[in-house]
Structure 1
Amino acid sequence: MSSNPTYPTNSITSISGKHVLVLTTNYGTEQDELKKPVAALREAGAQVTVAAREDAPVVTLVSDRRPGDTVRPDTTYGEVSADAYDAVVVPGGTVNADRLRTDQAAQRLLMAFATRGKIVAAICHGPWLLIESGLVAGKELTSYPSISTDLVNAGGTWRDREVVVDTSGGFTLITSRRPADVRPFSAAIIEALARTGHPAPA
């Protein structure tokens, strides 16, 4: 079941007490798809943890071409558990997403969020990790257009919309296409978190 969420126009929607994990490799993540959702979620009251593959700075890119900001991760994703979080966010960036989708630790972590009925969100090329984690079949979703065939071949229904929310299959999946969609993407995550029950244990 998919839906078109309504987007908060500001940060009045509070998700205080919610815990969100962001997964990234250490190079090639699209700058705005990492920094802007983190900022929006924190502004709305969530506690956000950025987990990278290694305990080293995350070097971002802008449009896969020029260097972006460097982000210091809070931990590595090999050291965290889905039990401690209410949602997981997977940013894009072609290089980042291509490396992330082959990482078995990232795959296991994403599957754990889904099997526990938690929110899974991915943007741009980030849905590549959804394919490798077996989370696409039967889902309606979107992505950067160039990987739409990959998602359809994995059993998903691809839509050309700025954000798609699918609540079927036991977990909520939120996807968006590109950096220009970061605002509605972030708003959809905030709305989904606001509708959940008690926060995950710390």
Structure 2
Amino acid sequence: MNDVESTGRRVLAVVTNYGVEQDELIVPVRHLREAGAAVDVAARTSDPIRTLVGDTEPGEMVHPTLALSEVDPSGYDLLLIPGGTLNADALRLHRPAVELVRSFVSSGRPVAAICHGPWALVEAGVVKGKRLTSYASLRTDILNAGADWVDRAVVSDGEDGWLLITSRTPDDLDEFLGAIDKALAGAARPRPGPACGAGQHRVA
């Protein structure tokens, strides 16, 4: 059992139907559900999701809860964006996914992205002034988007009224999930409207 209970929290994971890194989707979803959170997995379509291991080897098949076009983002406490090169590259070009990112940010709710997942944040134009990490190959994209990139297992940045949690690879999942647990334990209930302007401070 997790140290931090997430009972009653709702988490939305967004992916495409092919190429998401297996452990970056399956491990957080199982972890959060075991902690009592309700987790929906939204994919581009309602077809099964083919995960990959290391971008090459077939991983487990996952059945999405719903399609991205069907998501009402207002009822969720946290947005989870797994990586995988193919998944993240396709996701950032899918308008409903990018709009979901903007919805969470504008309402001040936490976003957690790992590996190549921050590509969606760059595409949404929400990382300027933030500090984050990612898979190393995204460093230049993140810097060009006006963010501060650091090489750490997990970075939590609450500047500008919304919390961004990022990690580099599946090797960082323990730290990543610990930061998510902490965010959910302290998260306010989802509410529409502009991002709140005070409260959290940047921690690395």
TM-score after normalising by structure 1? 0.92
Separation of aligned partners in 2, 1:35 and 1:106: 19
Q: 2:123 aligns with which of 95, 108, 132?
A: 132
Residue aligned with 1:169, SS:
helix
Q: Identify the residue that residue 59 of structure 1 maps to in structure 2.
A: 50
The size of the alignment, in residue pairs, is: 192
Map 1:75-86; keep pairs closer than 5 Å: 75-86=66-77
Alignment gaps of 5+ in structure 2: 192-204
Q: CA deviation at 1:23?
A: 0.2
Separation of aligned partners in 2, 1:184 and 1:132: 25
Higher relative contact order (CA 8 A, sep 6+): 1
Contact 1:163 1:177 in 2 (8 A): yes
Q: Percent identity?
A: 51
Separation of aligned partners in 2, 1:197 and 1:150: 31
Q: CA RMSD in A?
A: 1.3
- Give CA deviations for 1:121-166 in whole Å, capped at 9, x if unaligned: 1000000000000111000000000111110000000010000000
Alignment gaps of 5+ in structure 1: 1-9
Q: Identify the residue that residue 111 of structure 2 maps to in structure 1.
A: 120
Q: Identify the residue that residue 178 of structure 1 maps to in structure 2.
A: 169
Residue aligned with 2:52, SS:
strand
Separation of aligned partners in 2, 1:197 and 1:103: 28
Q: 1:35 aligns with which of 5, 15, 26?
A: 26
Q: Identify the residue that residue 151 of structure 2 maps to in structure 1.
A: 160
- Give CA deviations for 1:23-50 in whole Å, capped at 9, x if unaligned: 0000000000000011111111110000
Runs of 4+ in structure 1 off by over 2 angstroms are: 197-200
Q: Identify the residue that residue 20 of structure 1 maps to in structure 2.
A: 11
Separation of aligned partners in 2, 1:56 and 1:45: 26
Separation of aligned partners in 1, 2:132 and 2:18: 26
TM-score after normalising by structure 2? 0.91
Separation of aligned partners in 2, 1:126 and 1:83: 21
Q: CA deviation at 1:13?
A: 1.1
Q: CA deviation at 1:199?
A: 6.4
Contact 1:19 1:199 in 2 (8 A): no
